[in-house]
């Protein structure tokens, strides 16, 4: 399969899991009707981005995997015949929760999952309160459309995560995401942050010779605690090719189904002229496992 049709579903929060999943079903059907074989959803797509505050009652949103949402998403993948990348708040055990991407095969079966490894703790992004760091490693998920290097949001800032997925044979790097601006920041600062987010991911595409699919949410979401100014999610979902070139870009403000055809043969062609994997000095990288060189 040298050509792969992929779709990103950039959406806003519609209130709760039932409403959001209903919209997702509509959008995935649209993407499948347009020829999509692989569809990617945004991070924690079932509801609002609840990590703006620390509140124990938010754990009520978590679900087991398999569970109610995976049943519904499984049926959707089976109905539309797409490979579907979802993002759920996983209840693994009492007091043990993860931010987990679940990949569904075209027949509705669960092809694999990835638990978010890098967990932020910043104003408005208090994820360490909710999520245990992942313990499944940086392992791609094998599917009928290829080997998918699925990572989640904060992981996208770390070149090590992208590299380890590439070294494990990932054919695509995929990032379900929920990131936005502090409405109190000046516009120039907001733009610097958004451009940095785009640039670092394009760098992963270049450094590894792989397409990158980054799917973000849109819309303003108030801080339920009333302490913060809320989050304005900046959208800007995009698909980049193996030289970091833009193949498709979404806007900053509106829901959108981003659809593009990826020529997967270009990965091999690009890696032949830019042989970064060949020229890595693996004999000299031992200090990378240190926190810092004092």
Q: Are 214 and 248 in contact (CB under 8 A)?
A: no
Residues 101 and 43: their CA atoms lie apart, in Å, by 8
**Structural tokens at position 220:** 């303003």
| CA distances in angstroms from 192 to 93, 96, 188, listed in the order given | 40, 36, 6
**Nearby residues of 239 by Cβ (< 8 Å), 6 or more positions away:** 6, 8, 211, 212, 213, 214, 246, 247, 248, 249, 258, 260, 262
Q: Are 59 and 51 in contact (CB under 8 A)?
A: no
**Structural tokens at position 257:** 């189904």
Residues 226 and 74: their CA atoms lie apart, in Å, by 36
Tell me which residues are annotated as active site: 43, 116, 153
């Amino acid at each position: 399969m040298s050509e792969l049709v992929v779709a990103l579903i950039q959406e806003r929060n519609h209130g709760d899991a039932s409403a959001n999943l209903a919209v997702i079903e509509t959008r995935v059907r649209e993407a499948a009707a347009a020829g999509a074989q692989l569809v990617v959803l945004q991070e924690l797509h079932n509801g609002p981005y609840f990590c703006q505050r620390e509140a124990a009652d938010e754990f009520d949103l978590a679900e087991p995997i398999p569970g109610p949402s995976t049943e519904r998403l499984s049926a959707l993948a089976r109905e539309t015949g797409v490979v579907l990348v979802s993002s759920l708040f996983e209840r693994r055990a009492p007091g043990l929760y993860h931010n987990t991407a679940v990949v569904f095969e075209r027949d509705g079966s669960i092809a694999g999952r990835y638990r978010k490894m890098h967990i932020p703790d910043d104003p408005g992004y208090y994820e360490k309160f909710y999520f245990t760091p992942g313990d499944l490693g940086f392992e791609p998920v094998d599917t009928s459309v290829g080997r998918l290097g699925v990572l989640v949001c904060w992981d996208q800032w770390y070149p090590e995560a992208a590299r380890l997925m590439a070294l494990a044979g990932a054919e695509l790097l995929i990032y379900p995401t929920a990131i936005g601006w502090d409405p109190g920041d000046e516009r120039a600062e907001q733009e610097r942050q958004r451009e940095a987010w785009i640039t670092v991911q394009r760098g992963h595409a270049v450094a590894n010779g792989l397409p990158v699919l980054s799917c973000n949410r849109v819309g303003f979401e108030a801080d339920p605690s009333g302490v913060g100014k809320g989050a304005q999610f900046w959208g800007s979902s995009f698909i980049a090719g193996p030289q970091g070139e833009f193949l498709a870009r979404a806007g900053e403000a509106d829901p959108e189904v981003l659809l593009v055809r990826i020529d997967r043969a270009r990965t091999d062609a690009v890696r032949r002229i830019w042989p970064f994997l060949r020229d890595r000095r693996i004999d000299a990288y031992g200090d990378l496992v240190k926190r810092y060189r004092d």
